Structure 1
Amino acid sequence: MAENILEISGLNKRYGKIQAVNNLELKVEKGTVFGLLGPNGSGKSTTLGILLGVVQKDSGIYKWFGKEPTAAQRRNLGAILESPTFYPYLSGIQNLKIVCKIKEVPEKRILEVLTQVGLGNRADSPFKSYSLGMKQRLAIASALLSDPEVLILDEPTNGLDPQGIAEIRELIINIAEKGKTIILASHLLDEVQKVCTHFAVLKQGEKIFQGTVAESLMGNEGIELMAQDLDNLKSVASKFPAFVDMKLNNLGRLEVQLSNDTPIHEFHQYLIKNGIILTHLSYINKSLEKQFLQLLSGNE
């Protein structure tokens, strides 16, 4: 049985008339990359703040490593909750030395974590010369200085360009492969889909779904088709016994939904028998984005 590194039960936090966290129930297994998904204002950052002891909960219980939170336990947590803030004229090494003093951890890991996040060759460069992606990697390096068992990241790719996003994504995967448990909050569904093993969806502070990414992406959303005579393809496809729905996508291809468990080869043979020669045929892969939007719209 998997070990739960975090357990949340009945967690609540209100700011005036706003219920930021609403009776939240959540479990995170050791060794997973867990994504907290939700639109702005869904309670992701407030939840992480409570778990790190920087936001006071109104009620509820949460346990790290099976126990009530203590200062000693929180030393096993590395976190980035806001945009990285370092001294601009100091180098990466100099900034991390200051972090070591604040966290009361030895400086011996500085070069190790800088290398781990890909900043080994820029360790002596001033922070102001770093790109946004490099600044975020330095922040992750600072969170790793105490060699925490859990790494908590709030919107780790926010504001980054595509290259920076790809770099942080690769870094998160590499850290997870070393056995760390990672909890990250994000509204970028594609990034969660690519790096997370598990995820939960929050809406107005309440959990509306929790599951694994792999299970959520099993199967497909239909079939994408193309033929020289598109009108005839539409007419013939609509008469297939297992036909459910169809639409044209922005590529000018026909997307067809069939009833569950209908083998694609049966549909293809049906089209051939009716004189349809396809120029394109592929599955429409599932995405977290579509499921995320369905979850939100289904809980209005």
Structure 2
Amino acid sequence: MAEYILDISGLNKRYGNIQAVDNLELKVEKGTVFGLLGPNGSGKSTTLGILLGVVQKDSGDFKWFGEEPTASQRRRLGAILESPTFYPYLSGIQNLQIVCKIKEVPESRILEVLEQVGLANRATSPFKTYSLGMKQRLAIASALLSDPEILILDEPTNGLDPQGIAEIRELILDIAGQGKTIILASHLLDEVQKVCTHFAVLKQGEKIFHGTVAESLMGNEGVEVLADDTESLRKVIGTFPSFIDMKLNNVGRLEVQLSKETAIHEFHEYLIEKGIVLTHLAYINKSLEKQFLQLLSAKS
């Protein structure tokens, strides 16, 4: 039976005429990597702010570890809500020593977390010399100092280059592999698809989807085909009994949508019977991005 580490019920927050969080219902299982998705202004950061006690809710409830939020509970949480802010002329170690004093954590944890985030070799370098990716990793290190059970990250790869994004992705997976629960807000769907086990989609503060990444990516979106004679291929595909739709993609291949019960070998055999020899045949895998856009347009 699932153990829920976070339970949100009827959560609301309004800023003037804007409903930032709209009657949000959400549960997060222990040990998962949970992605909170949505366009700018969807309520992701506001929701995280409420959960961390830095934003006042209007109504509704939420529970951490099955209990009402308390100061002692928050010690079991590690979080990064905004861009990392450290003293530029101090080293990574010196900045974390300050964080240790604030969090009342022993400094013996510093080298351990720096090693964990891959900054041990730059521990004595001034923060101002760090790349954006290194600054983000130092922020994650500061959140890990208290050895939290839950790590909360708001747009952890925002502004990073592809290498920095890949480094943060691997770090998140490494932390998750140690059994910690991770909740992250992001609009980078490809990254969420690669690191998250579960996700929810918000639009204008309202939850419009909640499920697992694996279930959302099950099956396929049709098949991609190519033949020497594209026009003949088009005509024959159009006569296939289970044909629904097709389009030419940007690499010159036909993307064909068939009814869900159609077996790929039946489609291929039909083409062969009609004298069509394919030079390419592949499934079109589902993507979180396409489903995300469909969800948003369906709720417009």
TM range, normalised to the smaller chain?
A: over 0.9
Task: Using the TM superposition, give the Cα deviation of residue 49 of structure 1 relative to its aligned residue in structure 2, in angstroms.
Answer: 0.1
TM-superposed CA distance for 1:32, in Å, is 0.1
1:184 maps to 2:169: no
Residue number in structure 2 paired with 1:38: 38
Q: 1:163 is paired with a residue of what secondary structure?
A: helix
Partner in structure 2 of residue 12 of structure 1: 12
Mapped partners of 1:277, 1:165: distance in 2: 42
Residue in 2 aligned with 1:158? 158
SS at match of 1:40: coil
SS class of match (2:90): coil
Cα distance in 2 between the residues matched to 1:296 and 1:51: 25
Q: Give TM-score scaled by structure 2 length.
A: 0.99
Where in structure 2 are there 5+ consecutive unaligned residues?
none
Partner of 2:238: 238
Task: Within 5 Å, give how 1:85-164 maps onto structure 2.
Answer: 85-164=85-164
d(CA) in 2 for partners of 1:155 and 1:115? Answer: 23
Question: 1:196 is aligned with what amino acid?
Answer: C
Q: Which amino acid aligns with 1:183?
A: I
Pairwise CA distance, 1:75: 0.3
Deviation at 1:226, TM superposition (A): 0.5
| SS of aligned partner of 1:48 | helix
Greater Cα shift, 117-126 or 138-147? 117-126
Q: Report matched runs for 1:1-300 at 5 Å.
A: 1-300=1-300
Q: Deviation per CA, 1:17-73: give whole Å up to 9, x if none.
A: 100000000000000000000000000000000000000000000000000000000
How far is the alpha carbon of 1:2 from its aligned partner?
A: 1.0
1:253 Cα deviation (Å)? 0.5
Q: CA deviation at 1:287?
A: 0.4
Deviations 1:200-234 (Å, cap 9, x if unpaired)?
00000010100000000000001000011000000
RMSD between superposed Cα atoms in Å: 0.5
SS in 2 for 1:208: strand
- 3-state DSSP of counterpart to 2:176: helix
SS in 1 for 2:193: helix
What letter matches 1:57 in structure 2? Answer: K
Q: Deviations over 1:118-144 (max 9, x none)?
A: 001111111111110000000000000
Q: Distance in 2 between matches of 1:200 and 1:29?
A: 13
2:261 and 2:69 mapped to 1: Cα distance?
Answer: 47
**Superposed displacement of residue 281, structure 1:** 0.7
- Work out the CA distance in 2 between the residues paired with 1:68 and 1:28: 15
Structure 1 residue ranges without an equivalent (≥5): none
Distance across 1 between alignment mates of 2:17 and 2:237: 53
- AA aligned to 1:129 is T
The residue type paired with residue 147 of structure 2 is D
**How far does residue 286 in structure 1 lie from its aligned partner after superposition?**
0.1
Q: 1:273 Cα shift?
A: 1.1
Q: d(CA) in 1 for partners of 2:168 and 2:276? A: 46
Equivalenced residues, count: 300
Tell me the amino acid that sits aligned with residue 278 of structure 1.
L
Which amino acid is 1:220 matched to?
N
CA apart distance, 1:261: 1.9
Summarize deviations over 1:98-135 as a string: whole Å, max 9, x none: 00011111111100000000001111111111110000
Partners of 1:256 and 1:13 in 2: CA distance: 44
Amino acid in structure 2 at the alignment position of 1:191: E
Matched to 2:296, the amino acid is L
Residues 261-290 of structure 1 deviation map (CA, whole Å, 9 limit, x = unaligned): 211011001111111111111100000111
Tell me the SS of whatever aligns to 2:21.
strand
Q: Distance in 2 between matches of 1:139 and 1:229?
A: 56
